[in-house]
Structure formats: structure tokens, C-alpha cells
Structure 1
Amino acid sequence: MMISSATILDASILIVDDQESNISLFEQLLSEAGYMHVTSTMDPTEVCALHRKNRYDLILLDLQMPGMDGFQVMEGLKTNIADSYLPVIVITAQPGHKLRALDAGAKDFISKPFDLIEVKTRIHNMLEVRLLYKKLEDYNKLLEQTVRERTAELRESEARYRSLTELASDWYWEQDENGNFTKVSGPVLEMLGIRVEPLAGNGSTIPVAGWNEAEREILQARIAARQPFLDFLFSRTNVDGSQQTFRVSGEPMFNQSSRFIGYRGIGVEQTAK
């Protein structure tokens, strides 16, 4: 992720200083460097309102001003919840104020008397970091929106899938990650060798005869391995000697974090079609 020089020079900058000579110096320096959107104010009480309106990429803030100093301005800027990154470089002649300013939220400082090369370098570097931060913030918002949209689409698609498969098949089933059946219609339990007898009183399982054991083992193995299967042929022999053939399809289910959460499948009785 790179920020071009043209993008940096197109950034918006606000100069805050009660000395007109300092403002003129910074304006000339930034203009000669190619910055195109530079504004200024000598009234520190205007800064918060100006920033809420214009969302500056950088604020050059003098710390020592009458009426309202730079520390108070930074406290006011922190109340702007729309901006989680305080884009401030403080201007100070007091070495002891530098650490306090950084603790107050400033991202860098410029010392008086000015070293013009140092000033230009610090401004350029600060803007590059600020614009990278904004680009990442915008990307994260776009990513979150995309995830919300895709999640809604998946839920809608899954609802349609369940509705259509239940209408288009003889039976349908769902299992959780532990293999417990959470939804069943049709002879799924019998096919997998399990039939819950509701009249047994204790929910005991009764094996069902007639199913092809070799086919059942293959199907159980595929489910255990979390493999999808399509039109798997499954058969059984009834007590009267008649044969039944079933066509079975199933797929593993995963949540948004790619964690396995179970199986779902459909089937039709082939001999009845």
C-alpha cells in the first residue's frame, strides 16, 4: 500500500499560530514545496469546528497561544469521535513541552527556531503516515461492508436452498458437528444404521436390517471425512424380497470462520421414480 507524492501534495493542512509571521513562513514553505490546500487561523477557538467541517489531513499547532493553548486545542479535538487519529504536529520552543504534547495525542513536533529542511521532512512523513492510516481505515470499512453483504447473500441463498431441496427431494437431513441429527425427513436414520424408536421409552436405537452394509460403510466414511457426495446410490432388500434404490447427495457445512458445523443432504427413492 503506497501513497503517491501527488496524493501527499493534495492533502489538506491547517496552520494554527497566534503569530502572523510564523503563519506566513509556513504558508510560503508549504507553497514552495507544492502543497495545494493550505489554510490558517490565528484563533485557536476555531480549530475544532474547522476540523469537524474540513477533516484536515494535518494540523500544525502552536502550543503557546493566549486564551487557549495548544494542549486545550488537542483536548477539544479528541471529542471528535469521527476521527480516531489525531493528525497534529505541535510547534514549540520549550523542550519540556515535547513529551507532554506527545502524551496529549500529538504525533510529532517541530522545534523553534525552525530548521526548514527538518520542517518539510516532518510534514511530509506525517502526511504519508496519516494518508496510509486513512486508506487502511477506508479499506477496512469497505471490507466490513462487503462481509455484511456477502453474509446476507449467503443466508438468503441458504434459505432458498433449504426450501427448494425440501420441495424437490423425498427427504432432507441436517447434522451438527458431533454427528447428531438436528433435522430429518425420510429414511436417513435407517440408512445410516440408526433408528430412534419413540415407543421404546428411553430413546434406544434399533438396527434396521436389509440395507447394503458395504454401501452404508462407504457413506458413513465420506461423512466422517467431511467429504461432499453427489448422487450416491444406496440400496436395501425388504422382507418381501423387493429391492429399493436411493440416490443421496450431501455436503459439509462451515460457518463464517471456516469451522465445520455439520452436514446437510437430500435424497430421492430411485425405484419410485
Structure 2
Amino acid sequence: MLEASEILKASILIVDDQEANVLLLEKMLRNAGYERITSTMDPRTVCPLHLEHRYDLILLDLQMPDMDGFQVMEGLKEIETTGYLPVLVITAQPAHKLRALQAGAKDFVSKPFDLVEVQTRIHNMLEVRLLYQKLDNYNKVLEQTVLVRTAELRESEARFKSLTELSSDWYWEQDSQGTFTKVSGPVFEMLGIDADSTPDAAGIAATGRWNEAERAQLNDNIANRRPFLDFVYSRTNADGTLQYLQVSGEPMFDSSSLFIGYRGIGMDITDRMRRDQEEKHLGSDKD
């Protein structure tokens, strides 16, 4: 909503070649409390004045020598590129009213003036104009806020991605069907699979001799939409050696709580597992 003072502080330009009309309108507006009133009897000065001051309302007489009100509005259209002309036309010709509205004017008043009607139309038009400007300014602020928040989100995502890449060998995301939708890191090379092959619901390709019990447990977690932390599973490579992978994942849901997939991190812990086994073996020999 607008405060009454906001409307009274709006900028108004009076354009009429008759001095008596200008003086009458000026007196009426000042008596009503309007503070920023400018007037001209030369229609050729309207566009330069509006370009400089961007008036909230222009009271424009249609019948003037040298340049009529319709020609003035055509010039104003080149300034008001949004298509909104803050023009209230003044005319003694009923036939000109419709033509003026079609030319872009927002309202009209008739000569001779009914001062109550003039005041009411001016107030209403200024209220709409200022509310329109407030909405436009709000949308610009909102748009800028969205741009800032989007930039912050992207920066946060970049930091998160960097941290996950530093703390793991790969980052992955899958859709609800178990298909990889995003992979960061050498996941395919580590799994020893073709990048074009299709993984199962656990995100593990069907190739390789995987430990079936571990696979079943991981698949059960995923099938029941459970998160899992540092889950270790293994497979036997072609040369007979064991490879150990550790993976953590969490289910993802949309705003409607609909499951849309998983995301997580993983790493090859084969060297660590071998060291642990060697240490256990050495410890058992000492015993």
C-alpha cells in the first residue's frame, strides 16, 4: 500500500497552451497538497523535460498549436520503452477520448473542468502508477537476490564437490532407476568397467566377481532407501587378487518426498585392507 504522502510527492507536468488552464490546474493541485508540479505551454518541450525528469504523471492538452497532444504522445513512446505512458489527456472533444486511449493515454478529463473529477482521476492514476513502480522495483530486487543466491549456491556446490573429491576417490549420483547421472573421479576405471555399460541398482556394474553376500546387503540398503556409511565390499580381480571398495551414500527426495535417487562418495581401500590383514597376520604369528 501507498502512504498519502507518497502520492502527494509524485512529480506532475502540466501541458496546456492556455495560461488560464495551467494556472487553474496548478492552483487545484497545490491546494490538494501536491508538492512537485511543473508546467509548460510549449508542447515541443515535453519530451526533453520528461527525458530529464521522468514525471509520474503528465496532464496533456490535446489541442495545441505547432504540435498537438497526439504528436507529443508519439514522442513520449520513444522514451517510455516499456510501453507505459503516464499521460492523462485533457480534451473538449468527446471524439478524441477513444483515440487518445488508443494512442496510449491512461485516462482523460473533459473541458470545462470538473475539479472534483480531475482530482479523483489524478489521485487514482498516480496511485496505480506508483504501485506499478514499486512492483517493478521489487521484482528487480527479487531478481538480483535470486542471482546472488544462485551464485552463492553454485559456489557452495563447488566447495562441496572439491571437498568430496579430496576426501574420496569419486563422487556419484544415480536416478531412481540406479543409472549414474553424475560421476566425478575415476569410478569406472576403479570398477574395471566400460563407461557405457549399465550398472545395477547399487551402482555396481554386473561385470567382475563380486562378493555376493556384500552385494546383497548393499542392494538391500538401496532397495529400502536406507543411507549407508563406509560400507565395504570386495571383488576378485582377473589376476586373483582382492579389491576392496568403500562407499557411503544417501537417498535423495524431491520437494514432494518422492524418491529420486542416491548420491554418495567412494574410494578404493585395497591397500589399507591389505596392510590391516598383514598386521593381523604378523600379530597372530607372534602369539
Cα shift at 1:113: 1.1
Residue 53 of structure 1 is matched in structure 2 by 52
Map 1:154-165 to 2 at 5 A: 154-165=153-164
1:237 touches 1:243 (CA, 8 Å); kept in 2? Answer: yes
Residue 183 of structure 1 is matched in structure 2 by 183
Residue 133 of structure 1 is matched in structure 2 by 132
SS in 2 for 1:214: helix
Residue 221 of structure 2 is matched in structure 1 by 218
Cα shift at 1:157: 2.0
1:223-250 deviation digits (Å, cap 9, x = unpaired): xxxx9x4x53423355599895735144
Map 1:69-88 to 2 at 5 A: 69-81=68-80, 84-88=83-87
CA distance in 2: counterparts of 1:261 and 1:135, whole angstroms = 40
The one of 220, 226, 229 equivalent to 1:232 is: 229
Q: Between 79-88 and 63-72, report the one with greater CA deviation.
A: 79-88
Question: Residue type of the partner of 2:38?
Answer: T
Residue 279 of structure 2 is matched in structure 1 by none
CA distance in 2: counterparts of 1:177 and 1:61, whole angstroms = 64
Q: Kindly indicate whether residue 27 of structure 2 is the aligned counterpart of residue 25 of structure 1.
A: no
Question: Residue type of the partner of 2:185?
Answer: S
Unmatched segments (≥5 aa) in structure 2: 199-204, 274-287
CA distance in 1: counterparts of 2:51 and 2:262, whole angstroms = 52
2:15 touches 2:40 (CA, 8 Å); kept in 1? Answer: yes
Residue 281 of structure 2 is matched in structure 1 by none
1:53-75 deviation digits (Å, cap 9, x = unpaired): 11100000000000000000000
CA distance in 2: counterparts of 1:19 and 1:189, whole angstroms = 87
Tell me: CA distance 1:245–1:203, structure 2 relative to 1, closer, same or farther (3 Å): closer
CA distance in 2: counterparts of 1:177 and 1:56, whole angstroms = 57
Question: Residue type of the partner of 1:60?
Answer: L
Residue 103 of structure 2 is matched in structure 1 by 104
SS in 2 for 1:153: helix
CA distance in 2: counterparts of 1:253 and 1:78, whole angstroms = 50
2:13 touches 2:59 (CA, 8 Å); kept in 1? Answer: yes
Cα shift at 1:20: 0.3
CA distance in 2: counterparts of 1:242 and 1:266, whole angstroms = 21
SS in 2 for 1:248: strand
Question: Residue type of the partner of 1:101?
Answer: A
1:157-210 deviation digits (Å, cap 9, x = unpaired): 22222122101223222446873344253668999xxx7347xxx847534421
SS in 1 for 2:108: strand
Question: Residue type of the partner of 2:206?
Answer: I
SS in 2 for 1:79: helix
Residue 257 of structure 1 is matched in structure 2 by none
SS in 2 for 1:166: helix
CA distance in 2: counterparts of 1:261 and 1:18, whole angstroms = 70
Q: Between 40-49 and 236-245, report the one with greater CA deviation.
A: 236-245
Question: Residue type of the partner of 1:114?
Answer: F
Residue 206 of structure 2 is matched in structure 1 by 206
CA distance in 2: counterparts of 1:263 and 1:80, whole angstroms = 54
Residue 34 of structure 1 is matched in structure 2 by 33
Is the radius of gyration larger for structure 1 or structure 2?
Answer: 2
1:27-59 deviation digits (Å, cap 9, x = unpaired): 000000000001100010111111111110000
Output the TM-score relative to the length of structure 1: 0.80
SS in 2 for 1:13: strand
Output the TM-score relative to the length of structure 2: 0.76
CA distance in 1: counterparts of 2:15 and 2:261, whole angstroms = 61
* Same amino acid, percent of matched pairs: 56
Tell me: CA distance 1:181–1:6, structure 2 relative to 1, closer, same or farther (3 Å): closer
